[in-house]
Amino acid sequence: LNVAVKSAPEPEDLVRLIGGLEGHFVLVDTTSVNPYVAQEMARLRRIVDAAPMEGLLVMSAGREPLESRDMAAEFRKLAPTRLLVTGLDMSRRLGGILSALEASGAAFAEISATPDIVDGLRSVNPVMLARLLLEISNLREPDANKDPARLRQARQATGWN
């Protein structure tokens, strides 16, 4: 990817690192956080408050709807602006993501419907979302002889061909 990577073990270190990078694109990636563990959420709050940045919530598409809703509601306390959905190529049901969107108060950011990082992410628009919902709702149990069909259908629904 040809990017410079720096580590900031503590939020204070992040402030120092970002301080000299005005005018540059900076991506702050944190470790996974369990929204039900107060210490982990408190540390994430310190990171979010350390510098002005857009909060992006990343969730897998395959979660159960009620669990997704509860988790997203906890993350809503950190005011994420957008939701990035991963694992769409491995999910047949989108209820969890739709629940998370509503509970988080965030808008769709991008989606990943492929295991290949080089294919990148795709922005979501209303037409793509409608196609994706229709394609996934029409899927049947996979046929042992047609395993690649699931990935192909997800790619077609999201614009990856």
Rg of the chain over all Cα atoms, to the nearest angstrom: 18
Asked if pLDDT for residue 122 goes beyond 70, the answer is yes
Q: What per-residue confidence (pLDDT) applies to 62?
A: 86
Q: Which residue has the higher pLDDT, 72 or 6?
A: 72
- 126-155, pLDDT tens digit by residue? 888 887 777 765 544 444 345 566 556 655
Does the pTM surpass 0.95? The reply is no
Beta-carbon contacts of 20 under 8 Å, excluding residues fewer than 6 positions away, are: none
From residue 54, alpha-carbon distances to 17, 25, 81, 148 in Å are 17, 12, 7, 36
Encoding tokens for residue 9? 């073990």
Q: Average the pLDDT over 20-37 and give the result.
A: 89
Q: What average pLDDT is seen over the chain?
A: 82
Q: Give dist(CA 80, CA 108) in Å, integer.
A: 11
Encoding tokens for residue 110? 């991008």
